[in-house]
Copies of this chain bind each other. A is one copy, B any other.
Amino acid sequence: MQLVINKLEQLSPLSAAEKAALRATFATVRQLSPGEDLIRQGDRPEFVGAVLQGVMARHRTLSDGARQIVALPLPGDIFDVHGFTLRSVDHSVGAVSRAIVATAPHAAVSQLIRTQPRLGVLLWREAVVEGAILREWVVNCGRRSAYARMAHLFCEIFARLGQVGLTRGDECALQVSQGVLSDCTGLSIVHVNRVLQQLRREGLISLKGGKLVIHDWDALAAVADFDPAYLHMAEPPDIRAEPLFETFTAQA
């Protein structure tokens, strides 16, 4: 959980008690193999998750078999906070690469937030930022060419991994198949392959052997029309959010 704690501390330093409570709450740790689902469409949401290692995917499969990934929880991300108020989940969450996740049953999270209210705000904020990323994905799939779309995806992934210290210089580990990229972007696998070659040929990135290298960030961000504002990094939550969050887990 150190990674998650580091990420939260970028917004607000945590007390020792808060850190300990977080660790105690996200006590269950699971290893997932590539393709293994943690939560299935239709399940009742029962826990909040945190990615410790690897790449996860929130995805839906249509009746014709096509799959779309709607979110890519990365290490440091807390996910499914929104599950709290829902009876059933409308999509699956699974591992894309080998992954390690920590989970916390809703009851434990409730307890956590009762004793450490500031953590509740931070959890809620995670969910809000996930929503912002989702909006950007709609924009990405709706209005960008395949080339720009892939570029944008790499910009986002690199920025988010950088936030939790998982980049070194211009590179980072990224264990995703081209099939995953195609499901993220709504493109065919074949076209993903061709776009990747073009991105490499133009000297923007390379992706090989589970390693992503950004050769020219400025150019990549330019073709992607990437503006990291939507990631709301290092923007401490608004102080005025307090009372609303006090009822985060209240009974309706």
Question: Which A residues form the contact surface with B (CB < 8 A)?
Answer: 11-12, 42, 45, 58, 60, 62-64, 66-68, 70-71, 81-82, 84-88, 90-91, 106-107, 109-111, 113-114, 117-125, 127-128, 130-132, 134-139, 141-144, 185-186, 225, 229-230, 232, 235-252
Contacts and interface: CB of A to CB of B under 8 A. Distances in A.
In the A-B complex, list the 7 residue pairs whose CB atoms are closest, starting with the nearest: A244-B249, A142-B186, A120-B247, A245-B248, A110-B243, A244-B248, A245-B247
Contacts of A236: 87, 252
Contacts of A118: 247, 250-252
A222 to B, nearest CB: 9
A135 B246 CA distance: 27
Given A58-B135, A85-B238, A138-B138, 16 more contacts: A63-B225, A68-B139, A84-B240, A85-B237, A88-B229, A106-B240, A110-B242, A110-B244, A114-B246, A120-B248, A124-B247, A131-B134, A134-B134, A237-B251, A244-B249, A245-B250
A70 B136 CA distance: 8
B250 A121 contact: yes
A59 to B, nearest CB: 9
